[in-house]
Amino acid sequence: MLHLLWLVPLLPLLGFTTLVLLQRVLSRTATAIVGVGSVGLSCALALAIASNFLLAPPMGGAFTQTLWTWMQVGDFAPSISLRFDALSLVMMLVITVVGFFIHLYSAEFMAADRSYLRFFAYMNLFVASMLVLVLAGDLLFLFLGWEGVGLCSYLLIAFWHEDPHNCVCGRKAFIVTRIGDVGFLIALLLIFTELGSLDIHTLMQHASAQWPVGSPVAIATAVLLLAGALGKSAQVPLQTWLPEAMAGPTPVSALIHAATMVTAGMYLIARTHTLFELAPPVLLAVAIIGVLTLLISGFSALAQNDIKRILAYSTISQIGYMFLALGVGAWAAAIFHFLTHAFFKALLFLSAGVVIQALDEEHDIHRMGGLRTRLPAAFWSYLIGSASLAAVPLITAGFYSKDLIIASVWSSPLGGPWLWAGAVLGAFLTSVYIFRSVFIAFFGEPRTLVGQRPRARALIALTVLSIGALVIGFLEIPDIFGGGVHVLSEFLQQTLPRSAARPEPARVEWLLELVTVCISIAGIYLAYRLFLRRKPEAEALASTEDANLLRRFWGSGFGFDWVYYRVLVGPYEWFARVNRRDVLDVFYNTLAAISRMLYGMLRQTQTGNLRWYMGVLAAGGVVLVAIVVLT
């Protein structure tokens, strides 16, 4: 069964090629069948392979399949190889399962769109590239998938390209992530020159054998890989592209900019964890960036009015949690949060998509209101997603994963009280901002008419993801809740090292648990008081000059875009304007002008008068003879 692994990324790729080649032939129904079916088949196959892997684990906990050698130049021989272990199994399952349900939802969501086929072609190509990314056994092959998902992200953000603004957003996403990718590419070259291999397994062994902990080359490699991860996962300082990426269709935001692609950076760090463990300062930087990101985007999400932008900032902040977990060495916690986040964030986006479509492309939460009774399906799924995101205790998946991260940050030797405090504050912000959107959009007075309601396919997707957003958390239950369950972390131990933890007395553990429980409830209660009850004192406070300034500052995402515009884009545009007539062209234009002048002078001699030519000829002869005679 495992040897069929190559079919998992190939099936969506076949779907893509079928759609592209037969685009003039396929009807809309056929398009949906090919587009959704290819991912569905891939999903079924992935489930079969995963159960096979679990029932009969291969030797060493990993299965390697080398398909062929990509190219051979001297020692440089990257192979097209797949490596299947616990980490790639979890990633593959999330991508195919969540991807399938998002495809199913899109078949309905995009039904009225002119470019139905193009949408599914891009989506299938994306799923194929993403599967290559997580299954690749060779870093160069991984990079192929990495660039593939970047391309699809660009194409899908700018999907409605009739509006130039969408194209600008697509370009911004592409360019900002490209900045990180340059670092990744340099890291690849550095790894190859230093270790002589790009096969992930081999290079890890070489690295731990050759590089001492904290050696400069290990730090340089880790920093460069981190740059790639920051760009792809939209972490500070490269986070500015993700809110703009919401210009794409909502299923795209759900699949690419929430569930899968943006977590590729986290996957890269987890995949190359050996290199990061050799560079402790970089690991600390990962943790600090994680905390900074989750706080900055948490505050920014508080001041957004566009429902998709709220979710975008929340995605950035949740990936910040994953980075924090990676930074403190809680590898399994990061993967666990990725797993739950994929479900509840996809769910949030899809239910937001239902709302947006029902209200005729309305994104502003202040113009929604009272949707609780009028769009019950969207309300319940959005509520479940929000509860999971806000980590409502015991019943939601998000609680278990976020709790695991916060607990690991406290107990890990790499963590500490400061990082812990940041994470807890972030959890508080999360529940405030997400329930702000719930209370404003779904409660209160109705403000707009409700049009189209979701039908069967969208409802199936919402139901399945809702169930996932509730029950996935039971894979990991902390010890203090009666025994404890550690299915996922024990499974991931085959691939990722166990996170180190100081043993804490039970009293402290209970206290920490209580803090995380209370903080999320407190956040929801604050949101309830501020945005549903709307006390006059709160209104007065919110309308002061300082509050407005703060709201504008948070709303602009802490002014990162403004700074980047001033420091990078503005000067570049100024230079382009100044240098519109290329400086180098002056030289070449001078050459051209001189030859044109000489041509003008010589042209004067061509009079067409035969006797004049004769005379000049004779004069030339005389001059020649004179020269010969006189010298």
Partner 1 sequence: MTNTLPVLESLVLAAVLFALGLICVLVRRNIVFMLMGLEIMLNAAGLAFIAAGARWGSADGQVMFIFILTLAAAEVSVGLALILQMFQRFKTVDVDVLRRMEG
Q: What residue ranges bind partner 1 (CB under 8 A)? A: 606-611, 614-615, 618
Identify which of residues 586 and 629 has a Cβ nearer to partner 1 in the complex. 629
- For partner 1, the closer of residues 543 and 606 by Cβ is 606
CB of 619 to partner 1, least distance (A): 10
**What is the token pair recorded at 496?**
């990722």
Alpha-carbon gap, residue 5 to 1, rounded angstroms: 8
Give min distance, CB of 631 to partner 1, in A. Answer: 21
Rounded to the nearest 5 degrees, what angle is found at the Cα of 401, between the Cα atoms of 395 and 404? Answer: 115
Contact 391, 403 (CB under 8 A): yes
In this complex, which beta carbon is closest to partner 1, that of residue 506 or of residue 625? 625
- Closest by Cα among 415, 427, 430, 425 to 287: 415
We find the least distance from the C-beta atom of residue 604 to partner 1, in angstroms, to be: 11
Contact between residue 427 and residue 402 where contact means Cβ atoms under 8 Å apart: yes
Closest to 103 in 3D by CA, of 452, 407, 362, 350: 350
Q: How far is the CB of 606 from partner 1 (least distance, A)?
A: 7
Task: Provide the minimum distance between the beta carbon of 176 and partner 1 in the complex, in angstroms, as a whole number.
Answer: 59
Nearer to partner 1, 1 or 624 (CB): 624
6: left (phi over 0), alpha (psi -120 to 50) or beta: alpha
Please report which residue ranges of 56-163 form alpha helices under DSSP H: 86-109, 116-135, 139-157
Q: Compare residues 543 and 605 and give the one whose CB is closer to partner 1.
A: 605
For partner 1, the closer CB: 606 or 631: 606
Give the residue with the Cβ less far from partner 1, 510 or 612. Answer: 612
Give bridge partners of residue 69 from the DSSP assignment. Answer: 79
Instruction: Give least dist CB 625 to partner 1, A.
Output: 11
List Cβ<8 Å contacts ≥24 apart for 562-567.
Answer: 564/240
Q: List CB contacts of 613: < 8 A, sequence separation 6 or more.
A: none
Residue 611 C-beta: closest distance to partner 1, Å: 6
Minimum separation from the CB atom of position 601 to partner 1 (A): 16
Strand 485-486 versus strand 62-69 pairing type: unpaired
Buried b (16+ CB within 10 A) or exposed e, 202-227: ebbebbeeebeeeeebbbbbbbbbbb
Q: How far apart are CA 83 and CA 65, in angstroms?
A: 6
Q: 569 or 622: whose CB is closer to partner 1?
A: 622
Of 417 and 608, which has the nearer Cβ to partner 1? 608
Nearest approach in angstroms of CB 603 to partner 1 is 10
Q: How far apart are CA 579 and CA 573, in angstroms?
A: 10
